[in-house]
Structure formats: structure tokens, C-alpha cells
Chains A and B, each alone.
Chain A
Amino acid sequence: MQRFANPGRFLRLARAVYPWTAGLAVLCLAAGLWFAFVASPPDYQMGETVRIMYVHVPAAWMALFVYTNLAVAAAVLLVWKHPLAELAGRAMAPVGACFTALCLITGSLWGQPMWGTFWVWDARLTSVLVLFFLYLGYIALSNAFDDPTRGGKAAAILALVGVVNVPIIKFSVDWWNTLHQPASLTRLDAPAIHASMLVPLLLMAFGFTFYFVAVTLIRIRTEILARRLRALQFSQGASEVAAASPRQVSA
């Protein structure tokens, strides 16, 4: 892992890996969408709306998967002061927030035909909403300082505190929901899922994962280049000031 602390080495690796992940993402998503929309049957209860599941469920998985990655990056940053971990956390957080938002939006679009309302204070919905706020807090904190490395470190501490909290929040929301049980809500707990639905679901999940890796690689690369550019501009500005100051003194 320490080998990749060198940004040049990381950039070479990222350049080699990126086409593969991007290509696999396109392949999986294309195949997954074809299966989801064309080659899979409508559900016997939910009809055609079941197709929302192929976006909704992988997005929910990604929301948790990305947050786990964020926490690992935070721990690596705080323990080893690994410079790339800070960039990785900064790169991953908005992607995770988008997956969480996608999960919430598709969920409410699915809820309207199924439950007759866009939003219910169901335990699962509420915990995903809180997860979305945790992402927003991370992003806001990492961008709140003039010195970006300062923001990265503060956000890493927040991410670790958040990881301790996520199970507690989940538990408390379940507890709260059983206390205030809404009138009646048909739960959609299917005991097993048929292969014709599992294939597109897994394809979409893999597609989302490869997409996440590809986008994160682009974002880390951009951040490295942006910091190099800023360092160049600073040194150029400094040399211009140094060149200009004797004249000012003589004038």
C-alpha cells in the first residue's frame, strides 16, 4: 500500500486500470439494463414497477459499500498519514452521496404506485435518509477549510465517528419505528428471488461497482493534477512577486 503513496506511480497504475473498469461498467450496465427492461418477467404482484428494483437495490448496496470504503480510507489516512487516502475519501464521498440519493429517489418513485405515497417513515427509508445526511456532512466538512489537507483530516475523523454511529442509528430507527408503527404497510419481503430477476440485479450491481471504481479513479487523478497545478501557480506567483519587489523598492 505504501508503494502507491507516490502519486506518479499511482497515476500510471490508474491509467492502466481505468479503461478496464470503465469498459466493464459499460458492458455490465448495458447487459443489466437489457435484462432488466426486456428479458426479465414482470412481477406477479407488482407488475412492471418491479423493474425499478434493478436500479434501486444496487444503489442501496452501493450507498453502504461506498461508506465502508470511505471509512477504510479515513482509517488509512489517520493511521499511516497516507496522502492518497485523503484524495480517495474526497473523491468517493460525492459518488456515494449520489448513489444514496438515487436509492431514495427511485425508492419514492417505487413507493408511489406500491404504497400510494412517495414517502413513509419506514425504518429502512429513514436510515438511508440519515446516511445521506452523513455523506453531506462529510462533503461539507472536507470542503470547509482553506487548506484542503486540513479538511481531509477533519472529515476522516468524522467518517470514523460516523461508522461507530451507523449501526446505532440503524438500531434506534428500527426501535423508533416499531414504537410508532404506521397504520398498515405491506412489506415486500420475498422469501426467494427467481434467477430471471437475480441475473439483471447482479449485473446491475457489478456495473454500479465498476462505475464507482472508474469514477473514483478519474476524480483522484483530477485532484492530483489540480493540486500540481495549484502548486505550480503558487511557485510562479511567488517568483513573480520576488521579481517585482526590487522595482517597487527602487520606485
Chain B
Amino acid sequence: MSALAAVLRRELRLAWRSPGDSLNVLLFFVLTVVLFPFGVGPAAEILERIAVGVIWVMALLACLLSLDRLFRDEYEDGGLDLLILSPAPLELLVLGKILAHWLTTALPLIVVSPLLGLLLQMPPHAFPVLALSLLLGTPTLSLIGAIGAGLTLGARRGGVLIALLILPLYIPILVFGVAAVDAAAQGLSAQPHLLLLGGLLALFLPIAPVATAAALRQALH
């Protein structure tokens, strides 16, 4: 556990010292969402209809964009070898890195998401459910994404490849995340969708660190 805390502390300190990386992802998220009214026109009813989907898809792409760097720098400078050689289980260290990734990239997106909902004419009573669905869904995005980041280490054209591997696996999270907010916007209960999102998180919480650790081991074999 102290190893997990140490990795987490180190990652957060690194992110704090170069905040540009997290900020860029946040800016990407905001800018791409703001592009949509230019694409489909400013009519309120159209924007209201597509708001949830747009915010969720863009959050997913922003998460994907930031994954490339999750292990790459340490793979190239040799830091990853030290993590593998350390006596602490690699799965735990990987979990620490995933948690740090979520805290530094997904959490800012969740914080600004109600603001974007406002811009896209979402009914305000759906904002809490939007934030909650992102809060339950984005950790799973980071967990699955870490598997892809580990598998593509050292690959040619790794950045494009990771999208091909990960996006099909993201579909269930997108489906339940959007369904939760849609239900709330129509005045129905969002609970079943949120429970399913939580179930996915509970499923991938143990699977992803194990698969990512296996991927890292074979990458540095």
C-alpha cells in the first residue's frame, strides 16, 4: 500500500510541475465540444438532443488522447524497468499510475462538464447525473486505456494503434453513461444505468492492472 501511495505521490508531483499536459487535454475537450454548435447550427433543440452524446464522446476521446503518454516517457528513459524490478507487485504500481492518470486528466473534465452542458442547452436538472455518470465511467476508461497503452509500447505508430484497440472496448461505457443522463433528462430514474457503470468499474478494477502489468512485462522482456 505504501508503494501505491508512493507512485501516486510521484505521479501527482510530476503532473503538478508540468500542468500543461493536463491543461492541454482539458482544452481539447472544451474546444472540440464547442465546435459542435458550429457543425450542426445553434438551434437549441438540436443541441439539447445531442448534448450528452457529444460531451461523453469528447470526454472519451480526450481520455484516449492522454493515454499515449501514460507509460511512454518511462519506457524510453528506463524508469519502467525500475518499476518492474521493484519488490512491490507491479499490478499495484500500475494501479497507482492509472489512478494518477484519472486524477490529472479525467477529473478536470468532470469539473467543467456542467459548464459545457450549459453551453449545449442541457436541462440543468441533468447536470448532477452527468457529473456522476462521468465520475463512475471515466475510471473505467482509464483502466481499459492503460491496457492499450501497455500493449502498444514500442509499437510502430503506437498513437493511432491505441485508438483501434481501445475504442471498441469503450462502447459499453459510452452506452450506459449516455443512457443515464438521457434518462435523467427525461425525468426517469438513472439508477439502473449508473449501477451498470459501477459494475463495469468493479469488473475492470481487478482485470486491468493484471492485464497491464502482463503487457508491461512482455514489453520489457
Contact = CB atoms under 8 A, between A and B. Distances in A.
B175 A136 contact: no
A179 B168 contact: no
A165 B143 CA distance: 13
B200 A154 contact: no
A141 B207 contact: no
A19 interface: no
B70 to A, nearest CB: 16
Interface in A161-202: 161-162, 164-165, 168-169, 171-173, 175-176, 179
Given A157-B215, A169-B171, A175 B176 contact: yes
Interface in A98-131: 130
B164 interface: yes
A34 interface: no
A46 B167 CA distance: 37
A67 to B, nearest CB: 12
A134 interface: yes
A56 interface: no
- Residue of B154, B161, B168 with most chain A CB atoms under a 10 A cut-off: B168
B61 interface: no
Nearest to B207: A164
A interface, over-half SS: helix
A51 interface: no
B169 A179 contact: no
B147 interface: yes
A131 to B, nearest CB: 8
Contacts of B157: 144
B172 A172 contact: yes
A133 interface: yes
Contact of B207 (A130, A133, A161, A169): A161
A162 B211 CA distance: 11
Interface in B133-175: 144, 147, 151-152, 154-158, 161, 164-165, 167-169, 171-172, 175
Nearest to A151: B155
Contacts of B158: 144
A162 B214 contact: no
Interface in B156-198: 156-158, 161, 164-165, 167-169, 171-172, 175-176, 179, 182, 196
Contact of B172 (A78, A144, A153, A168): A168
Nearest to A133: B168
Contact of B154 (A137, A150, A158): A150
Nearest to B157: A144
B179 A176 contact: yes
A175 B207 contact: no
Contacts of A179: 179, 182
Contact of B175 (A140, A154, A172): A172
A172 B161 contact: no
Contacts of B214: 78, 157
A11 interface: no
A209 B191 CA distance: 44
Contact of A144 (B144, B152, B175, B207): B152
B171 A137 contact: no
Contacts of A146: 156
A144 B156 contact: yes
Interface of A: 78, 130, 133-134, 136-137, 140-141, 144-146, 150-151, 153-154, 157-158, 160-162, 164-165, 168-169, 171-173, 175-176, 179
8 contacts: A140-B165, A141-B151, A150-B221, A154-B219, A161-B147, A164-B207, A169-B171, A173-B171
